[in-house]
Structure 1
Amino acid sequence: MADADLDVVIRQLARQLHTGLMTRAKERRDRFNGLAAKAKGKESRDRFKMMAKATMDQATSAARRLQMSADNVADSYARSMRLAASAPVVEKAEKAPAKEKPAKAKNAKKTKQAK
């Protein structure tokens, strides 16, 4: 991974985060479905099922946003590296020794004397 382009690394890390996020969301969904199966009343069972569904919806949305952000960052990085590689190299000319500027005389204000 030392020689890998960073856009590839960004995409790989996003994939790992996506996988971890969806795994945790599925675990939580399964937990809520298990609680729904054990629930005694219809209302509590429906509430747990609704929470399981909402968990997956929210996790899917978060994973999608994460993936889009990572793709945008990776594309932006790759584009900037392509532009930097194709840009001509500007060599700086040696600077001539700076000439000393003569000291500016301060403008002395003439005051009129009142007689």
Structure 2
Amino acid sequence: MAEADLDVVIRQLAKQQNKSLIAAAKKRRDQYAARAAKAKDKEARDRFRLMAKSTMLHGAAAAKRLQNSAENTADSYARAIKNAAEQPPAKMPAKKVVKKAVKKKEA
């Protein structure tokens, strides 16, 4: 991956983070679903089910925002590199010759 562009790396990292974020949301959802199954009354069961559903919705929304942000960043980087490659190289300013005034010694 030494030759990979940074935009590709950004996209890969975002994909990995998305997977771990969704996995964590699913794990938390399953915990709430298990609590809902063990709940004694209907009110508690409904509350835990709602929490499980809400957890997945919020997790999916966070993953979507993360993915969009990473894609925007990767696209911006790729565009900047492309623009930089298309521009002609900047000319180096010519070196200025500075002449020192020689003071004549008066005796």
In the alignment, which residue of structure 1 is the partner of 2:35?
Answer: 35
What is the rounded CA distance, in whole Å, between the counterparts of 1:8 and 1:60 in structure 2?
23
Match of 1:25 in 2: 25
Compute the RMSD of aligned alpha carbons: 1.2
SS of equivalent to 2:97: coil
Amino-acid identity (%): 55
Pick the structure with more helix per residue.
2
1:16-49, Cα deviation, whole Å (9 max, x unpaired): 0000000010010011000000000111100100
Q: Is 86-95 or 5-14 further displaced after alignment? A: 86-95
Q: Which amino acid aligns with 1:70?
A: A
AA paired with 1:38? Answer: K
Unpaired segments of 5 or more residues in structure 1? 101-115
- Map residues 1-115 of structure 1 onto 2, 5 A cutoff: 1-98=1-98
27-36 vs 91-100, which moves further: 91-100
Task: After TM superposition, give the deviation of residue 94 of structure 1 in Å.
Answer: 2.2
Residue correspondences, number:
100
Structure 2: distance between partners of 1:28 and 1:99: 76
SS of 2:4's equivalent in the other structure is coil
Structure 2 counterpart SS, 1:15: helix
Q: Which protein shows a greater Rg?
A: 1
Instruction: Report the TM-score when normalising by structure 1.
Output: 0.83
Partners of 1:98 and 1:73 lie apart in 2 by: 46
Structure-1 separation of matches of 2:3 and 2:27: 36
Cα shift at 1:91? 2.1
Cα deviation for residue 90 of structure 1 reads 1.9
TM-score, normalised to structure 2, is 0.89
4+ runs deviating over 3 angstroms? none
Moved more, 86-95 or 39-48: 86-95
1:110 corresponding residue in structure 2: none
How far has the Cα of 1:95 moved from its partner?
1.9
For residues 98 and 32 of structure 2, what CA distance do their matches in structure 1 show?
A: 75
Q: Which runs of 5+ in 2 are unaligned?
A: 101-107
